[in-house]
Structure 1
Amino acid sequence: MSEMITADLVDLDLAVNTKEAAARSLAERMVRLGRVTDLDGFLADVAAREAQMPTGLDGGIGIPHCRSAHVTEPTLAFGRSGPGIDFGAPDGPADLIFLIAAPAGADDAHLTILSSLARRLMDPAFTSALRTMTSPAEAAALIRGDAPEAAPSTLTEGSASGEEPPGAAGTAADASGPVAASASASASAGAPAEVERPAAGAESVSSTPEEPAARQGAGPERPAAEADSGPADGAGNAVPRGAGGREGAPGGGPSVPFRVVAVTSCPTGIAHTYMAAESLESAGRDAGVEVVVETQGSAGFARLDPAVVAAADGVIFAHDVPVREKERFAGKPTVDVGVKAGINRAAELIAEVRDKAERGEVTTPAAAKGGTPVESAGEPGEGYGTKLRKWLMSGVSYMVPFVAAGGLLIALGFAIGGYTIDKAPSVAEHFAWGQADSWAALLFQIGGLAFSFLIPVLAGYIAYGMADRPGLVPGFVGGSVALTINAGFLGGLAAGLIAGGVVMAIQRIRVPAPLRGIMPVVVIPLISSVIVGFLMFLVIGKPIASLQKALTDWLSGLSGANAVVLGVILGLMMCFDLGGPLNKVAYAFAVGGLASPNEGSLKVMAAVMAAGMVPPLAMALATVVRGKLFTKAERENGKAAWVLGASFITEGAIPFAAADPLRVIPSAMAGGAVTGALSMLFECTLRAPHGGVFVIPLIGNPALYLVAIVAGTLVSTALVVLLKGHARRAPAPVPAADEPGETQEKVTVAA
């Protein structure tokens, strides 16, 4: 197996000035070594990851990274920029850039080494050494954890007097070799990189395999028995320890430190996850707080010892993806934030959780601030509107696979058996193996069953997003009631929100300790299902069903100017965020109408799909018409965008929007509005919820439908070329280092 980083993957004079050019320059080194097979495909994956969340960190660090099918083995490239490059960090440009490339199926051992690097990036001495290195070989060795001759003196500078910089405990050990050993040991133990730093109060660094058990159990300062009898009552609630949990032990024993357990995770699970863990541990050492972190990264995760969780005085969740098995941390003061807050505001988070413990604020995972299983954790003060959007998106995201599978099966049934196939008898009673109509009926009926889950799944997972797993049962029950009384898509939305709210209210009720074990599996599902069923059947279900019928009738009667206005609105929504929340709302609205199809709902579905095809098709055409306005990577992405657009995958335009949102998104919206309006004006209909040009046989007025798509594509193409051409004429474009002879247009665009 090749080394993760070599001298050939180090550039100590990275002469570029944008993050895209930096990624390209470092990726080209990976290509030369055979670590990356498709440069542009890999860079597209890096850009897609960057679009999720900026990868710049405080302290002048940029860590672009991704998993990609174009990577042959886990690889790390390092570049050092004199003027710095903007990676979106709050404190300014990054001068240390680490490009991390992981295969789609990277093994745990290599990901553990990457996690070790991520932790070391939080050590000021390590980053200072990288800023002073003059040899690529020495820099590569330092990053690997080898022992170049210059590294020990650099890393231990300032410690001759017996002092260490904050968070630098164990740095010399890291530089002289134990990092690699400890990473390997932790991989075998299933706890990534947990052995490379001492816990609070530890006197020395140990790289033995036994240390993780000590840290996750009793900790180096107290025996295991004390951990097992930690400060928790029989219900698992934290017992206040006075000011910060430092009250002396019974019998006048030594003071017990405040104990915090934390979980960190990020979308890729390679870098931010482990950097947040290291930052929290370092801040804990500085504050005299014992912090034990569970990293839920790409290498899997090792569950914290239940005794450690029970003994903890507080919990910190620093995550951008759902925390797995969150219920383990119920009944404790909880701070729930995004993973970047765990990196940049670790000391504040520890102080916040201590304050909550002193005030006796005991929370559950579902009721913790910003903490739901499917939403990305938000910052403190997140508004109700943002939370509501996330709850609704959680239901839509789980519903979409049922839409895709069921809708396409229904479409295939129609394509093979004609529009009368919905009158066919059940295939369980009548099926002729040699008749096409029987196979068409089979496809149609399977698709119909999948479609019948749309409303219950929507409601169930909205409730799940609000209240965790206890919300599933009342959510599905409420969704099924909505389906039964013909309340449709609106009924499913209402049922999900009601179910989630009811469960959250029940969870706030303090119950005796003996009942807590059966609350999530018996009491909460029982009571909440009764309440939700009662409300949906007898109180609000009927009015919602009437509203749904009125909306359906209105859609059926749409014609002329009213239909065109609706088409414009749907087109704008589909193209605003290119597959994001607003796009999904418009799509879910259209799909909800297919559950009980009529002329109006079929027109809405046609307009939504047509508008969603425009952005990638327009970007693809623009790269052909005026290729010089786009980078080489964008021109390559344009080739793929033809297929993605034709397949109704709006996300094909995301790489273009991520690079130049102020010009690409308005152009896409204008074309989408034109297409949506024309589709409605031409009275096109669509019975399939997906498929693009591949379901043309299922489209009413297919020739005019294609005219609408072409018209919108031409409008978007003309606008994006015009706007980019104007930007290109701006003064003083900077030559691109990665593409000789072309101008660095992204610099002009960013300005």
Structure 2
Amino acid sequence: MRFVAVTACPTGIAHTYMAAEALEQAAQAAGHQIQVETQGSAGSTPLSIADIRAADAVIFAVDVGVQDRERFAGKPFVEATVKQAVSGSAGLIDRAKTAAEQQTSTEPAEPDPVPRPPAEPAGTGFGTRLRQWLMTGVSYVIPFVAAGGLLIALSFALGGYDITEAPPVTERFDAGSLAGWAALANQIGSISFDFLVPVLAGFIAFAMADRPAIAPGFVGGAIAVVVGAGFLGGLVAGFLAGAVVGALRRIKVPHALAGVMPVLVLPLLGSAVVGTLMFVVLGGPIASVTVGLTDWLNSLAGVNAALLGLVVGTMIAFDAGGPVNKAAYTFAVGGLSTGSETALELMAAVMAAGMVPPLALALAVTVRAKLFSPSEQESARPAWLLGASFITEGVIPFAAADPLRVLPSIMLGSATTGALSMAFGSTLRAPHGGLFVLPLVGGPLLYLLAIVIGMVVSAGAVILAKQIGRAPSGAGVGTSAVAG
């Protein structure tokens, strides 16, 4: 059979391409053909219309909304998360084959002249779609956070923390001084941060109701900033805009009006409704909640801060890039918009905890290679770089092969690192970059120490776990692959 597939994860860095590779290998092993469109951060080459028409079925391995999903209208399809595609690609290929065979056996003599796009796949629960909408918004926010955070961190490194008091560069810019360039970097970064909430809201709405919902989402997100509702207000505005525009799209209108609905009527009515609700009804209460959350974060210190680091560190390792991991990451990224010291400490803790799992397994393989299968030993080499780059998904080959031993071990190490990072007071404005943004970390030496301790804890735990139940000799390296 011939399949086409789309893979996409929130950050578009690791899972997207790992899922594509896994699907390609599984299809080849089963004797099928497949072409994969990776909607990742590096951009994508869209599948051709000819490839889509020739395909027997479509596979969506996504954690976010699929771009231009209407291209696949009328095709049988299956849907899964990218993590399921990485760890269970063969089963996903079998599901696609079954879907294609079922459609062939029930295909009517006269095909539907206007096939419905698979916008809301059967069997996909509301919770899954809700997570995909949220992760779509987060995926578009991350570049703004990365650019703004790195520029602000760089400005502090060049000009000190009082650089925020510098006059606007439009009034005075000294190209011959380091302070002038620091002020420029700070003000560019701050403007980038101003887009966070509107972009989040706009692309949540886009994921829910397509392009007509972008304007209402951005308007709602901008109002959330104006009324002080912050990141939480942006979430509410995005979901509200998507729901409002989605409801308006279901209204049947005369054919003469259909052409202007998506470019005029839907953005106009959606923006009016969302803007009114955010200004008059929802903005104030959400702003109060946001203030309370910010005050709570700022009040954390000592044991309480370490406990928060332990919790988010555990969440980061729990499913190695899955929804629990992304929930902790989203919470940390959302805190960056407040600019509070504790929020910066939380971002540092989340990134440190996320680096630990791949680094720990790479260390464990280096120390006790014979406990691991040949394929796991091969995975250890790229795991060093993936871990250093804050790509937690680098641990997936190990976790998929031996989840009952690996997952508790990496959770233990990441929790340790998260707690230590918070206790040490390390700070970070950049939401990504791993060790490559170490010069921008507040308290870098202690931060490195927290990561190393977590690595050692996880590596030691997984080595110990893999020795439990092993035969004294002759068991081979396959024992780790059958556990769990």
Structure 1 and Structure 2 fold alike (TM over 0.5):
yes
Report the equivalent of 1:664: 406
Measure, in 2, the Cα distance between the counterparts of 1:46 and 1:476.
Answer: 27
SS in 1 for 2:168: coil
Matches within 5 A, 1:259-278: 266-267=36-37
Q: Corresponding residue for 2:120? A: 369
**Offset, 1:343:** 2.5
| Partner of residue 29, structure 1 | none
> Match for residue 63 of structure 1?
28
Alignment of 1:309-458 (within 5 A): 318-320=58-60, 325-326=68-69, 337-338=78-79, 340=93, 341-349=95-103, 365=117, 368-370=119-121, 380-458=122-200
Instruction: Indicate conservation of the 8 Å contact 2:37/2:47, yes or no.
Output: no
Q: Secondary structure at the match of 1:318?
A: strand
| Correspondent of 2:270 among 528, 538, 547 | 528
What aligned pairs does 1:234-633 form with structure 2 within 5 A after superposition? Answer: 266-267=36-37, 300-302=48-50, 318-320=58-60, 325-326=68-69, 337-338=78-79, 340=93, 341-349=95-103, 365=117, 368-370=119-121, 380-633=122-375
CA contact (8 A) 2:403 2:483 kept: no
| Per-residue deviation, 1:409 | 1.6
1:645 equivalenced with 2:394 (yes/no) = no
Q: Following TM superposition, by how much is the alpha carbon of 1:684 offset from its aligned partner in structure 2, in angstroms?
A: 3.0
TM-score by length of 2: 0.81
Does structure 2 conserve the Cα–Cα contact (< 8 Å) formed by 1:552 and 1:600? no
Q: SS state of the match for residue 689, structure 1? A: coil
Supply the AA of the counterpart residue of 1:665: L
Check whether the contact 1:618–1:668 (CA below 8 A) recurs between aligned residues. yes
Question: What is the distance in 2 between the residues matched to 1:749 and 1:490?
Answer: 43
Shift of 1:548: 0.6
Task: Provide the rounded CA distance (Å) in 2 between the counterparts of 1:411 and 1:567.
Answer: 22
**1:48 has 2:18 as partner:** yes
Matches of 1:422 and 1:55, distance apart in 2? 52
Q: Is the CA contact 2:372–2:477 (under 8 Å) kept in the aligned structure 1?
A: no
Q: SS at 1:448's partner residue?
A: helix
What SS does the aligned partner of 1:540 have? Answer: helix
Q: Determine if contact 2:78/2:99 at 8 Å carries over to the other structure.
A: no
Report the equivalent of 1:250: none
Residue type at the aligned position of 1:118: Q
Any idea what SS the aligned residue of 1:369 has? coil
- Within 2, Cα distance between the matches of 1:470 and 1:46? 27
Higher relative contact order (CA closer than 8 Å, sequence separation 6+): 2
| Cα shift at 1:748 | 4.5
Distance 1:666 1:303, change over 3 A: closer
Contact between 1:317 and 1:336, CA under 8 Å: does it hold in 2? yes
Aligned partners of 1:335 and 1:352 also within 8 Å: no
Structure 2 residue 450 is the aligned partner of structure 1 residue 708:
yes
The 1:385/1:45 distance shift into structure 2, 3 A limit, reads: closer
8 A Cα contact 2:305 2:419, kept in partner: yes
The answer on whether the counterparts of 1:408 and 1:691 sit within 8 Å (CA) in structure 2 is no
Give yes or no for contact 1:578–1:650 (8 Å, CA) kept in 2.
yes
Alignment partner, residue 244 of structure 1: none
Structure 1: distance between partners of 2:96 and 2:102? 9
- Larger helix proportion, structure 1 or 2? 2
Give TM-score scaled by structure 1 length.
0.54
2:58 counterpart SS class = strand
The structural deviation recorded for 1:447 is 1.8
Whether the 8 Å contact between 2:417 and 2:453 is mirrored in structure 1 is yes
- Deviation for aligned residue 1:319: 4.0
Work out the percentage of aligned pairs sharing the same amino acid: 52
Aligned to 1:655: 397
- Indicate how the Cα distance of structure 1 residues 364 and 527 shifts in structure 2: closer, same or farther if over 3 A, else same: farther
Residues paired across the two proteins, number: 449
Take 2:267 and 2:104, find their aligned partners in 1: how far apart are those partners?
34
**Which structure 2 segments of 5+ residues have no match?**
1-13, 80-91
Taking a change above 3 Å as real, the CA distance of residues 49 and 481 of structure 1, as seen in their structure-2 partners, is same
Structure 2 Cα separation of the partners of residues 695 and 303 of structure 1 = 41
> Residues of 1 paired with 2:99 and 2:378: CA distance?
39
Distance in structure 2 (CA, Å) of the matches to 1:334 and 1:519: 27
Q: Aligned pair in 2 of structure 1 residues 51, 629: CA closer, same or farther (>3 Å)? A: farther
Deviating more after overlay: 604-613 vs 522-531? 604-613
> 1:455, 1:480 within 8 Å by CA — same for their partners in 2?
yes
Aligned to 2:482: 749
Residue 28 of structure 2 aligns to which amino acid in structure 1?
Answer: I
Q: Tell me if structure 2 keeps the 8 A contact 1:634–1:656.
A: yes
